Amino acid sequence: MNVILFGATGMIGRGVLRECLRDDTVESVLAVGRTPLAVTHPKLRELVQADVSDLSAPDLDLASYDACFFCLGVSSVGMKEDAYRRVTHDLTLAVARPLAAANPRLTFAYVSGEGTDSTERGRSMWARVKGRTENDLLELDFRAYMFRPGIVQPDRGIPSKTRLYRTAYALTAPLFPVLRRIAPNLVITTEAIGRAMIAVAGPGADAAAHGRVLRPRDINRIASGGRDQG
């Protein structure tokens, strides 16, 4: 399986990249981003450019990719709706549309968020924008999965790029083991997200076995090979 990955410098994206490089079913990874990863691996190729939605490079054969794992995102804190929509909805669709046109068999896994508003009419700005993004992705001619993680525990010391989130993780880190014992599907790890993405996109994946909107329980179940964790 050949994977194109967006957002590999972020907390979730780094976790997904790690799982892709470890998994034998993933043959190659193209990481598209604005800054280099400082990671070297035989499977990994990087495309570093200011406009990450520009997939027009002559040596970029979009039809050769089996999956796109889209982990790119920003916090909505302090942003106006128009600006947040441009970097959330518009950027995501600018990437997704040429991929769908190039390969309708491609699997597109999009990191959304628990609480996303599929009606697009709620009071929460970020939830409306994410809802519109999900809805538009689900209309495209490829197999799309909306990943809605709840509380994400970073694995292997992977930090968040957002200062507010880093502080929150540092303060709540002692609670993660307790939460995982009493509510195993409230907390998911970056490792689980990566494993679940590979599972839904991998050879022989059964699209009918999963819904297209995956919440924490679904992500944990898929990551564990179909075993429900409570």
212 lies in some domain: yes
Residue 211 forms part of a structural domain: yes
**pLDDT at residue 187, rounded to an integer:** 78
The pLDDT of residue 228 is 47
Q: What is the CATH number of the domain that holds 166?
A: 3.40.50.720
For the stretch 113-153, pLDDT in tens is 999 999 999 999 999 999 999 999 999 999 999 999 987 87
Q: DSSP letter for 72, please.
A: -
Asked, for residue 63, whether it belongs to a domain, the answer is yes
Residue 137 lies in a domain: yes
Range of the domain at 64: 2-223
Q: Please check whether residue 132 lies inside any domain of the structure.
A: yes
Residue linked to tokens 């790029």: 161
Examine residue 68 and state whether it is found in any structural domain, yes or no: yes
* Backbone CA torsion sign across 222, 186, 71, 214: positive
β-pairing verdict for 143-147 and 107-111: parallel
pTM of the model: 0.87
Listed in sequence order, the residues at least 6 apart from 102 whose beta carbon sits closer than 8 Å to its beta carbon are 62, 63
Q: What is the 3-state secondary structure (H, E, C) of 149-178?
A: CCEEECCCCCCCCCHHHHHHHHHHHHHHHH
Q: What is the pLDDT of residue 44?
A: 98
In a domain, 229, yes or no: no
- Residue 113 pLDDT: 92
Q: Which amino acid belongs to residue 113?
A: G
Cα first-last separation, the chain: 31
At 158 the pLDDT is 53
189 in a structural domain: yes
CA distance 3 to 31: 8
Q: Residues in the chain with pLDDT < 50?
A: 160, 164-166, 168-169, 171, 228-230
- Report the number of distinct structural domains present in the chain: 1
DSSP 8-class letter at 209: G
The reported pLDDT for the residue numbered 32 is 97
